[in-house]
Amino acid sequence: MKIVSVIVDLPTRQTDQPFTYILPDDLRQDDYIGCRVIVPFGNRRLLGYIVADAELDDQKKDMQLKEIESLIDQKPILDQQSLELSSWLAKAVFSYRVQVIQSMLPNAYKAKYLKRLRMADNVDDPKLKELFAGQDQIDFSPKKYSSEQLKEIRSFIKKGMVIPVSTIGRRDQQKKILVYENRLAEQEIKELAIKNRTSAQQKKLLNFLNGNQHGFFTKKEISEIASVSPAVIKRAADKGWLEESYQRLDRDPLKEINPHKSFSLHLNDQQQAVYDKVEQAIVDKKNKTFLLEGITGSGKTEIYLQLIQKTIDLGRGAILLVPEISLTPQMIDRVKSRFAQKIALIHSGLSDGQRMDQWQEILDKKIRIVIGTRSAIFAPVADLGLIIIDEEHESNYKQEDNPRYSAKQVALWRSDHSGAAVLLGSATPSLESRARAEKGIYELLKIDKRAVSGSLLPKVKIIDMRQNWQKEHSDSDFSPELLDQIKKNKQDGQQTILLLNRRGFSSFLMCRNCGFVPHCPNCNLSLTLHLDSHSLKCHYCGYQEPIPKVCPICSSNKIRYVGTGTEKVERRLQQLLPELRIVRLDQDSTKKKGSLQKYLNDFSKMKYDVMVGTQIVAKGLDFPKVTLVGVINADTALNLPDYRAEEKTFQLLTQVAGRSGRSKRPGQVIIQSYNPDNYAISLAAEQNYEKFFRTEMHYRHLADYSPYFFIAQISVNGPDQFAAGQAIEKVAEFVKPRLDKKTIVLGPTPKAIARLDNRYYFQMIIKYKRDPNLDPTLNQLQEHFSLQLPANIYLSIDKDPVSFI
């Protein structure tokens, strides 16, 4: 008998602690820490995770300890480091440990709680017999029943004739499905088909069998193809025409596009210097963090690949994080073609089964290289030697909902615990990382020239859209100069990328007669016009409605489209220059699986001259024929109520500019702006990161923002505006007096988007440098104070939030 600590699958404040259980001898196996178990908890059964051995102290001796009911895993699915990490991270991000564990693990390991109904003994009721159809227990999902039936079931439960039971289903078992196979010989089919006693439906089925004598079919397939009712199929099985069996539903194999083998390039001097520094740290098993500030096209990826190779050669494991897999298909190809061994590619597009298979193979050390988005930082890679975070400035490395962790924070923790080197790479590092490098916390490494010899950074020109020509043609998205260059570029056989950071056709709709603007009923934000789908859409909650023909307020038909979007730019450009072949890339045009990949492929094969798109086109793409990049409106991000607006604008413009002239032919960039004097835009045009860094640091210093101050955000939301407002006031009353005098508290105020999907949002911002009272206060806020809030009001605490909207 063993005593163990178990974290149970019940994410509440009261249950956020390990519970002690007995692991009975008949369940003992060599490794049980890190395994899932099923435990009795109160009057139900829950999934749990064994996190440690426990001691029997005097207090527990007196308690009746319960026994673990079953052990699910034959070997641990969480290694020691993951267990320690989950404990630390839960505290660091004000989350429950079970929630952290579940975000680390692939979904398939989660429990599925099934509701079932059991008939009480000695019950003899015809209605119940019908309901249970001869079985002792049935699955209960209310959707399957009419409201009449549900009422009946409830009354049976009340009378004690039916007993609800809940069981824990597993998602990680291989799914098997019921299939049918033909049992009749060809001759038999023919004979049966002409018999008088054979019904018309049965004849249809026999006809189907005649054409499909071999192979397995689901009931649904047969009933659809042969157009017969499921009952006919069931009866045919009873008669022995068909054989029923359960077959494994095969998981989609990863479509391996592993085209060619690629070889290491000979590094140039700057690349080599970077490589040497990081390699030394890997060899020395140092938990050192490097910041690589390398201009676009400076060959950062090549350095990553060679460092990963080195790590593997030393027998250690490596993780490479990218902001979004779909935006980096070229990078993935390069990685895959470089390494002979199997690589795990972890991203949201995988099925639950695929993710679980990869997790197992990483645990078993069959896979030593992991590439993926944010959550790949949790991959249980043993003896980790190197973690690379590419485009380290990207905000997707932070998860916006619970648990609000940042992959960077986890990377640094794992580096400390494994002696792994961390390499953060970007052409435009976040101010926080760059400031840390300034202070010597990270080691700064720089590359200031492009890797392809002869390739230079492109020339950038800013067009002032306030000038006279634009005033007269205020509805035009194209300055004559940009249009001219697009035309010329096509004549030269080159390609163009156009960036516009807004999807749809026009930003909003307005009635010229009365000024009415349609708004989302859930969020109160103006709706965007989409001509493709003939609808008005809310970009925040997804609400849609048809485009009105007349104004719903004054019935006038003078409806005007205001502002612009990718759809409009595409159509307008096609009208102006009909000879162009244009492809549009945005959330709407790439919704279909595989379509983004196809558009990118076709573009690289020169099937298009121009690519118009949102941020998708700004990042990571490497097309040698692109020598012109145009930014339709550089100002969209500047007006957001966020202290990082300039930083985000600078990053986006620098990134998109970097798509131009990546090969030998010089590139150019044209930026259209209504704020050409804004430093974020003018310095992006100069592609002068260092100067931007100094300037922006100065402003952040004046305004007491990050990196000079740390920021924590407390927000509250609820369906009732008044109640949510009262709640945040109470939070403020609780928090403010407890904090250090030097800590600054802003608000509480409604958020910039105050209503979203019918919930009202309020926030307060805490700016602090070193405040010993902060963490204890926030802990108390979450552990005790939050229990006093009404149930439908949610409180969240976010350190280093990425967005304030």
The strand pairing partners of 70, in sequence order, are 38
CA distances from 700 to 676, 712, 746 (A): 21, 16, 16
The H-assigned helical ranges of 549-644 are 566-576, 595-604
What is residue 652's three-state secondary structure? helix
298 binds ligand ADP (CB under 6 A): yes
User: Least distance from C-beta 265 to ligand ADP, angstroms?
Assistant: 4
Cα–Cα separations (whole angstroms), residue 679 to 80, 396, 465, 654: 49, 25, 16, 13
Q: Can you tell me which of 241, 543, 650, 762 binds Zn ion, judged by CB under 5 A?
A: 543
Using CB under 6 A as the binding rule, whether residue 504 contacts ligand ADP is answered as: no
State in angstroms the smallest separation of the CB of 554 from Zn ion. 3
Nearer to Zn ion, 178 or 554 (CB): 554
For Zn ion, give the closer residue by CB, 362 or 523: 523
Q: Could you tell me if 303 and 372 are in contact, meaning their C-beta atoms sit under 8 angstroms apart?
A: no
Distance between CA atoms of residues 171 and 77, nearest Å: 14
541 binds, among Zn ion, ligand ADP, none (CB under 5 to 8 A by kind): Zn ion
Q: Does 268 bind ligand ADP (CB under 6 A)?
A: yes
Among 522, 688, 695, 721, binds Zn ion (CB under 5 A): 522
Q: Which of 22, 52, 72, 267 binds ligand ADP (CB under 6 A)?
A: 267
Query: Based on the number of CB atoms within 10 Å of its own CB, is 643 exposed (0-12), middle (13-18) or buried (19 or more)?
Result: middle
For the bound state, the minimum distance from the C-beta of residue 545 to Zn ion, rounded and expressed in Å, comes to 11
* Binding span for ligand ADP by CB under 6 A among 265-273, 275-283, 634-642, 730-738: 265-273
Is residue 791 exposed (0-12), middle (13-18) or buried (19+ Cβ within 10 Å)? exposed
Q: Are 480 and 612 in contact (CB under 8 A)?
A: no
Q: Does 451 bind ligand ADP (CB under 6 A)?
A: yes
Question: What Cα–Cα distance (Å) separates residue 361 from each residue in 72, 349, 627?
Answer: 18, 19, 43
Mark residues 593-632: x for contact with ligand ADP by CB under 6 A, - for none. -----------------------------x----------
Residue 523 lies near Zn ion (rule: CB under 5 A) = yes
Taking the complex as a whole, the smallest distance from the CB of residue 716 to Zn ion amounts, in Å, to 20
How far, in Å, CA of 375 to CA of 399, rounded?
9
CB of 451 to ligand ADP, least distance (A): 3
- Binding part of the chain for ligand ADP, among 63-71, 252-260, 273-281, 298-306 by CB under 6 A, reads 298-306
Q: Work out how close the CB of 297 gets to ligand ADP at its nearest, in angstroms, rounded to a whole number.
A: 4
Among 538, 569, 573, 711, interactor with Zn ion by CB under 5 A: 538
Cα 102–107–111 angle (5° rounding)?
75
Strand 66-67 vs strand 19-23: parallel, antiparallel, or unpaired?
parallel
Q: Which of 297, 565, 630, 661 binds ligand ADP (CB under 6 A)?
A: 297
State in angstroms the smallest separation of the CB of 748 from ligand ADP.
43
- Rounded Cα–Cα distance for residues 742 and 378 (Å): 36
Q: Does 301 bind ligand ADP (CB under 6 A)?
A: yes
Give the C-alpha separation, 414 to 81, whole Å: 8
568 in contact with ligand ADP (CB under 6 A): no
Which of 452, 456, 320, 301 has the alpha carbon at shortest distance from 385? Answer: 320
Interface stretch with ligand ADP, choices 113-121, 125-133, 243-251, 261-269 (CB under 6 A):
261-269
CB 618 to ligand ADP: min, Å: 13
Please give the radius of gyration of the chain, using alpha carbons only, rounded to the nearest integer.
Answer: 31
Assess 553 for contact with Zn ion (CB under 5 A).
yes
Q: What is the 3-state secondary structure of 310-341?
A: HHHHCCCEEEEECCCHHHCHHHHHHHHHHCCC
Residues that bind ligand ADP (CB under 6 A): 265-268, 271, 294, 296-302, 451-452, 622
Residues that bind Zn ion (CB under 5 A): 511, 513-514, 516, 520, 522-523, 538, 540-541, 543, 551, 553-554, 556
